[in-house]
Amino acid sequence: MQKKAVGVLGFLLFLTCLALPLTAGQDPAVFIFGGKQLYVGMSKHDAATALSGCCKLSPPAESEVEKQPATSHGGHFILSTEDSSQIIGGIFFSNGKVVRITRPIAADIDSWNEDVVGFARALKRSLPIEASNSETPMYVSVRHERISNAESDIVSLSFPNGRGIELHIGTIDKPNTETNKRDFVTVDEILEPRRMK
């Protein structure tokens, strides 16, 4: 089985999985821009005010792009005030509330990198055919392993059809002699028994 390292992408995906609330009783997930917390459900006014200290929206919040009939909710790029050509995220409103927020996983991700593209294609291959233009559940699990010379967290992303992706995010006790690095990520496509719906 061939394993590919995806470095930062895999590690950040792991952190994202841990940061997302897994039960309804938890506080809402937040993104932080310029030291201010943004979350789905907050008012458009509060979100625009929070962003005004570090960022600007394009189009501006006052444009009310979400009222255009062509879209179900309007989107605005979040631009850095220091460098207005730098898109640091996106925010979407509907009925005066935040309904979606986006941001890049990391500023230095090379979206043309073969490992990053390979990971994304493997994840797409794992999706059930019936997921096209619809939704499908995904099961996420995390377990910790310790072996004689390393420890790792294994993040499994699996679908009801039994296909999935498994990330091993680890640290070896002594640096690798070839790379002089201790941290590593491996990515495998997995097949497991189908899950009953």
Domain spans, the chain: 7-20+110-191, 34-102
Is the C-alpha dihedral spanning 119, 124, 126, 127 positive or negative? positive
Give the Cα separation of 89 and 60 in Å (integer).
14
3-class secondary structure, 161: coil
% of the chain at pLDDT higher than 90? 32
Please report, as a single letter, which amino acid is at residue 19: A
47-56, 66-75, 92-101, 169-178: segment of lowest average pLDDT: 66-75
Q: What does the pLDDT average to over 58-64?
A: 84
126 close to 163: Cβ distance less than 8 angstroms: yes
Q: Is the pLDDT of residue 186 over 60?
A: yes
Note the pLDDT of residue 159.
Answer: 85
40 close to 101: Cβ distance less than 8 angstroms: yes
Give the Cα separation of 183 and 180 in Å (integer).
10
The residue among 140, 149, 192, 154 whose CA lies nearest residue 3 is 154
Note the pLDDT of residue 137.
Answer: 85
Q: What does the pLDDT average to over 155-162?
A: 87
Q: Is the pLDDT of residue 143 over 80?
A: yes
Q: Is 34-102 a CATH 2.60.40 domain?
A: no
Is the C-alpha dihedral spanning 119, 120, 123, 128 positive or negative? negative
149 close to 173: Cβ distance less than 8 angstroms: yes
3-class secondary structure, 189: strand
Q: Is the pLDDT of residue 6 over 50?
A: no
Treating both helix axes as pointing N-terminal to C-terminal, what angle do 114-126 and 7-19 enclose, rounded to 10 degrees? 50
Distances (CA, A) of 183 to 9, 88, 89, 108: 13, 27, 28, 18
Helix (H) or strand (E) holding 25: none
Q: What does the pLDDT average to over 15-43?
A: 70
